[in-house]
Amino acid sequence: MSQHAGRGAAAFPAEKETSLPLKSLLFRAYGVRSGTVRGLILKLARLLDGGELRAELRSDLLRRIFKHYHDVEIGKYSHGGCFVPGQFSRYTKIGAYCSIARSAVGLTRDHPLKFKSTHGLFFNPKVGFVDVEKVEFVPLEIANDVWIGHNTTILPGTRTIGNGAVIGAGAVVNRAVPPYAVVVGNPARVVKFRFSADVIARLEAEAWWTRDLDDLQADKHSFTTPLESGYE
């Protein structure tokens, strides 16, 4: 947005109608199972929406591609490793306003410990030896305003990460993370909560992440200063 834009200007410009046919073509072309082709399409999708970060924050095309072809649902304004194919497994749902390191990994299926072999040949049809999935995926839901740090690994069976949670760099998460908890280590453990229980309850009730960025303009001050003293 131009520095000369007025205070009421939209945070992001409206999608250009002229780009819609091209975006539709790119969406269909992504169905080609070629890493090279898909990588090129993702680059073009980012260029169409203003570059890597800007596109990840706002691109409907990127979100359609990841939901349809990778079974990863990504909410508005979330960005980072969720837009790297394969970093987050199938049946992952990510809320709005999440900040995810590009090196973070979210896994929704494990190798079988009770089969004769743990090798993917014997449970993953993509490898070409079996015809159907032999190990179920466990859906992962990452809520809103979650910060996931560098080299984080979210293991299968971690069904939920709550609103406002922070996953420290290098953490290995193997269980649910409560809202606004800060977790670190291997295995990850809660070391503190970002706010008091009362403030957390108010934030959960407010659910500000359901609003578009433009709607938050009038309340910008509360997002750019320490919160606790203003809520208590």
Question: Are 95 and 163 contacting, i.e. CB atoms less than 8 angstroms apart?
Answer: yes
Catalytic site positions: 111
Euclidean distance between the first and the last CA atom of the chain, given in angstroms as a whole number: 35
Query: Does pLDDT of 2 surpass 80?
Result: no
- What pLDDT, in 10s, does the model give residues 184-198? 999 999 999 999 999
The helix/strand/coil state of 110 is coil
DSSP assignment, residue 165? -
Q: How far is 21 from 27, CA to CA, in rounded Å?
A: 10
Average pLDDT over the chain reads 91
DSSP assignment, residue 85? T
pLDDT for 202: 96
Query: Does pLDDT of 231 surpass 90?
Result: no
pLDDT classification of 213: cutoffs 50, 70, 90: very high
